[in-house]
């Protein structure tokens, strides 16, 4: 069945397909280890596999979140802020839990990180290293 790009799937997956599960979990492992660029890299194949479908926005948001923290580590407030806003926009319309991830909690974390990056002057070292709760197994 074809769905318009941007429309959410009527049935949200409990988790990614088995062939992609390792990459999905590796994203959280890398992110929580502070390896944000690597987190982006391991998730990109999953995003490309569903590009053009509604679930792609979910993965693109996670990739943008990792990208935001690549810039955070370098003290770049502008790109950090832009990518945090974009990832939040990608998840608009998604349910509180999607692909086993507590997306409601993650949205709250993004709001907190945005508040921290909007403080002037931007002091990334004052914020505890971000951590994502991995999806439920």
Res. 16 pLDDT band, cuts 50 70 90: low
- Domains of the chain are 21-126 (1.10.3450.10)
Residue 137: what pLDDT?
A: 62
Decide: 65 and 86 in contact? Cβ < 8 Å.
Answer: no
Give me the chain's average pLDDT, please: 85
Listed in sequence order, the residues at least 6 apart from 124 whose beta carbon sits closer than 8 Å to its beta carbon are 72, 73, 75, 80, 116, 117
- Does pLDDT of 8 surpass 60? no
pLDDT at 14: 43
Residue-level pLDDT at 10: 43
Q: Of all residues in the chain, what percent carry a pLDDT higher than 70? A: 85
pLDDT at 23: 85
């Amino acid at each position: 069945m074809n769905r318009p790009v941007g429309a959410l799937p009527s049935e949200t997956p409990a988790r990614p397909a088995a062939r992609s599960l390792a990459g999905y979990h590796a994203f959280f492992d890398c992110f929580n280890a502070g390896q944000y660029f690597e987190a982006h890299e391991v998730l990109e194949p999953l995003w490309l596999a569903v590009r053009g479908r509604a679930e792609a926005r979910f993965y693109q948001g996670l990739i943008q979140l990792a990208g935001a923290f690549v810039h955070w580590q370098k003290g770049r407030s502008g790109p950090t802020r832009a990518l945090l806003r974009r990832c939040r926009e990608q998840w608009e319309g998604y349910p509180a839990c999607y692909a086993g991830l507590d997306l409601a909690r993650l949205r709250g974390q993004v709001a907190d990180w945005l508040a921290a990056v909007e403080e002037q002057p931007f002091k990334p070292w004052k914020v505890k290293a971000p951590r994502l709760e991995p999806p439920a197994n």
